[in-house]
Structure 1
Amino acid sequence: MIDPTQKKPVFVYLRSAIIFTVVGLALGLALGWQSTGTISGAMTIFFICTVLAVLEISLSFDNAIVNANKLKEMSAVWQRRFLTWGIIIAVFGMRIVFPLLIVVIAANVGPIDAVIMAALQPDEYARIMHEAHLPIAAFGGTFLMMVALTFFFDHEKDIHWVEWLEHRMAKYATIKGVEIAFVLALALAFSRLLDGPERDVFVYSAIYGLLTFLLVEVLGGFLDKSQEATKAAAQGGLGAFLYLEVLDASFSFDGVIGAFALTQNLFVIAIGLGIGAMYVRSMTIMLVERGTLAEYRFLEHGAFYAILILSVIMYCQTLFHIPEVITGLGGAALIGVSLWSSIRWNRNENA
């Protein structure tokens, strides 16, 4: 199991991510040279990979914090599995397979045809991805909103950052289904701003996002509860593992779709976002081992506020475009403020 008492230097945690960055950017250079045959073309692809990696890291601060919060409750076996299998699913599943799957379903073509389209018809591939943005934003926004509200609507929650708001949310948490009602009401309100078929697509996608969250919660509780009745130690943590994988997928929606604003090359997107995913893994391990969440009491609150804002932004993006840079900087700013509030609170307590 990850030992929170072992505080290694920051570089040690980031070492594998740095190695992956060097390899990934080298592949980006090679891809740029192979596709353009010029130094300027190779440097352009190198620059795009770098920007995508930075964008993914800025969007994933809150993801790493939530991962760390869930990971510390998992058994040692499932901690290791999440940090190995999980990163493979995150890098290859969500950054490569997921965009291909969207094209397979939307264009009604085979997987091989989708790969050929990504390689030889990047503009058409990007068009299909952008057309799929509405249901993806509705699904991912609803799922992430439920993640955030479940944290705040908790009657056992006794640490509040924004006292006047969080105290009331914890108080009303005793009303069953209050967060579900809130999300459904907001989804219906947003759907009224859309016309015709888009309205139906938004509502159905939002409902599927809500059902997915509830099913993961129920399945996770059932699987982890079964550990108490059996001696199958490997069973413990499967529910949390599934929850984290779906959560990572929801975080990835925005980054994958937004990446097509910079390039239509699927392989460049996979390199850039894959680098970012490796840093999320490294930051998750660092947060758990160094006990950062316990040391900075409001850091987790900032992450969940960032998730809540991200979910609303995903809803808004069904109406108009919001640059991903704003999304990433907004989430990082909230986490930064929560970190500063935690440091100030620690100083006051020590004084």
Structure 2
Amino acid sequence: MVLRTFGWSFAVTALGLAFAAWQWGWEAFGIVLILSVLEISLSFDNAVVNAGVLKKMNAFWQRIFLTLGILIAVFGMRLVFPVVIVAISAKVGPVEAVRLALDDPGRYQDLVTDAHPAIAAFGGMFLLMIFLEFILEDREIKWLAWLERPLAKLGKIDMLAVCLALIALLATALTFAGHAHVSTGHADKTATVLLSGVAGLITYLVVGGLSGFFEDRLEEEEEHEHEEEEERARAEGRPVSAVALAGKAAFFLFLYLEVLDASFSFDGVIGAFAITNHIFWMALGLGIGAMYVRSLTVYLVRQGTLDDYVYLEHGAHYAIGALAAILLITIQHQISEIITGLIGVVLIAASFLASVRRNKTLEASGTDDARDARDERDEKAEVASGA
């Protein structure tokens, strides 16, 4: 299972590190390795959240996520995205931006730093909406019940998540954006932060709305198909397989995953400049890390980990909320990538340990909940096993 899921990641790691050492020497080897670890540590919560979405898709779309999706993640966000930032900021063409990255890495880094307030506002608002939509929903399973119960009651208010996100954006624009951190010191980026933050909010609403719309419609159709499949299975004496999303619903969920991955990538791309200005070293290191995040996502789905450890998704969303806050704060203040990565790791580790304790308590009490959870996990694993 491990080799099957992580095989491509191991191969890309070996080839990428070997190429870096052959082309640029051992310094490049070490930096690429460090960047890979940085990307994995910053994006573990991304994998957990991705798994929660990916498990709804059928085997075909899971394969698309691992093939086309990884091309978008590696070449789009880790290589093209920094170039696009520079091209827009400096008002130059993509070719000239690449030339700056190779011939004038200092100027290249300054341009990316100047674009950071806009990037942080866009990504921060997108991630904040993900966190708010999760925490304001009334869920059967609650991790921090003392906090989640009252928030779930408040979540019954229409558009509360959007209102809270806009309040956070306004507060950010009136505080951090007035003294935003740029290459020359500090500057007033209030208008930029407001515009980018609204763009991030709109992106979430459009992509999330479309994916939810098609998911709901096709789930109704597939529920009917599933009932027919159950009847045929019982008549033939076969086990019933769970139905996973396909077609338009899966396409928009795939699009949602890509935008989500892009938002998670902002901190990794920006943080990489603290280690190196070399665009190709950056692309190699972050690309290797992105491969492991993709493989880890599929591993969590195939193993049914989210069904076994029910608080993991909660921990990942709390980490998303922390990352959203950090992105908004970094508009003015610099925060170490070590702190950013550790916050996510600590929250997910805490949710994992809480899940383990919950499972032990259920098994010790011998309740039906434990048996039902195992049966549900086995049923969902049938869908993922074909990926």
**1:269-288 to 2 correspondences below 5 Å:** 269-288=282-301
Aligned to 2:274, the other structure's residue is in SS state coil
Check if 1:117 corresponds to 2:100: yes
Within the candidate set 3, 24, 27, 2:19 is matched to 27
Cα distance in 2 between the residues matched to 1:221 and 1:299: 22
Cα distance in 2 between the residues matched to 1:47 and 1:127: 24
Aligned to 1:132, the other structure's residue is in SS state helix
Q: Tell me the alpha carbon deviations over residues 271-327 of structure 1, each in whole angstroms, 9 at most, x when there is no partner.
A: 000010000011011100000000001111100000100000001101110011110
Highest Rg: 1 or 2?
Answer: 2
Cα distance in 2 between the residues matched to 1:350 and 1:110: 61
Q: RMSD over aligned Cα, in angstroms?
A: 1.8
Within the candidate set 188, 192, 198, 1:207 is matched to 198
Aligned to 1:297, the other structure's residue is in SS state coil
2:174 matched to which residue of 1? 192
Unmatched 5+ stretches in structure 1: 1-7, 33-41
Cα distance in 2 between the residues matched to 1:225 and 1:301: 23
2:209 matched to which residue of 1? 218
Cα distance in 1 between the residues matched to 2:314 and 2:212: 23
2:133 matched to which residue of 1? 150
Cα distance in 1 between the residues matched to 2:102 and 2:305: 43
**TM-score, scaled to structure 1:** 0.91
Cα distance in 2 between the residues matched to 1:311 and 1:131: 19
The question of whether the paired residues in 1 share the 8 Å contact of 2:45 and 2:316 is answered with: yes
Within the candidate set 330, 341, 348, 1:335 is matched to 348
Cα distance in 2 between the residues matched to 1:173 and 1:300: 18
Give identity over the alignment, percent: 47
Q: Please state how far the C-alpha of 1:113 moved relative to its aligned partner.
A: 1.3
1:75 matched to which residue of 2? 58
The question of whether the paired residues in 2 share the 8 Å contact of 1:224 and 1:236 is answered with: yes
1:170 matched to which residue of 2? 152
Cα distance in 2 between the residues matched to 1:274 and 1:31: 17
The question of whether the paired residues in 2 share the 8 Å contact of 1:223 and 1:238 is answered with: no
**1:87-102 to 2 correspondences below 5 Å:** 87-102=70-85
Cα distance in 2 between the residues matched to 1:99 and 1:135: 13
Cα distance in 2 between the residues matched to 1:207 and 1:250: 14
Q: Please state how far the C-alpha of 1:96 moved relative to its aligned partner.
A: 0.7
**TM-score, scaled to structure 2:** 0.82
Q: Please state how far the C-alpha of 1:224 moved relative to its aligned partner.
A: 4.0
